[in-house]
Structure 1
Amino acid sequence: MVIANPVDPHVLTIVRRDDPFADMPALPGGYWDLGERAAEAASRELSEETGLPVHTGQLTYVGMYDNPDRDPRGHVVSHAFGILIPRQLPVVGADDAVSAEWLPVHEIRMGHRPMAFDHAAIVNDAYLKLAATAQKPGSVVNIATGSNHGIQAHTVHSNITSRKGQ
């Protein structure tokens, strides 16, 4: 997940193309590829779905989400990662995202913007964790240049699932 603009925080979301939760906002993310580390999957999925490049070393681990009922397709475990950036950057929906857009964090946290799955809870957790670190020097990352200044919190999630016979 990516959160931008510390004064008026917005989170980068996608609009899902497919069920479950088609046409609803969600966090960019997806399944790990074989041999991939969690942060690599998060970075790859963010880039594939929004066009926003993030290096794995810039991501902060937010948490694991493992409620067996969080995904109607089955028991999916998500690992959330975040990054703080200074401002909203241009994004475009791709892959299995109809579009990508920046939504106000306070609208999600207040329940005014429903999200797919348990992504509103992930946004809340990431906002709290990343806002706490935003006061530390070098905690905001400029993803365009790789330098640590002028960026607010964002989070990317990546899913891992167990499948019978695999």
Structure 2
Amino acid sequence: MLQFRSLTLRRGPRLLFRDARFQIHPGQKVGITGANGTGKSSLFALLLGELQPDEGELRWPREWVIAHVAQETPSDARPAIEYVLDGDRELRETERALEQAEKAGDGEGQARLHAYFEAIGGYQARSRAAQLLHGLGFRAGQETQPVSRFSGGWRMRLNLARALICRS
């Protein structure tokens, strides 16, 4: 379960939450509404670990992954499909670990990481990302175009694909 315990958050001089307490249990669905500037984005930044509370604590099981759709997309030169695949942090961390094991000549580590990579669907990830992009209206070949070539609306679709590829 996700728990806010006596949580206080300030952004500059502005107090957003004071002694906030709530719980969200597995399977519950929660909507967050509020006027501009009331702390909705800051709440998500807390959940994503981008901000730390001024007081109190935020707790949830380590194995939980939070998928979200970013509000902005960087003007990136990387191919769209690589941007989407970055949404699967576990995949990317495993790829980095594999690369390090290969550089170090760690055969046992490589074998263990290749097995894990297979278990998390790493060998099918590129195909899954391409299917997501196609399902969101991207044409064949567009997955190799740089993110910077897409308009704001298409970049929002890239953000949606990035959230959907995350195993949450």
TM-score range, shorter chain: under 0.3
Quick check: which one's helix share is greater?
Answer: 2
Larger fraction in strand: 1
Q: So what's the TM-score if we normalise by structure 1?
A: 0.24
Tell which has more relative contact order, 1 or 2 (C-alpha 8 A, sep 6+). Answer: 1
In terms of Rg, which structure is larger? 2
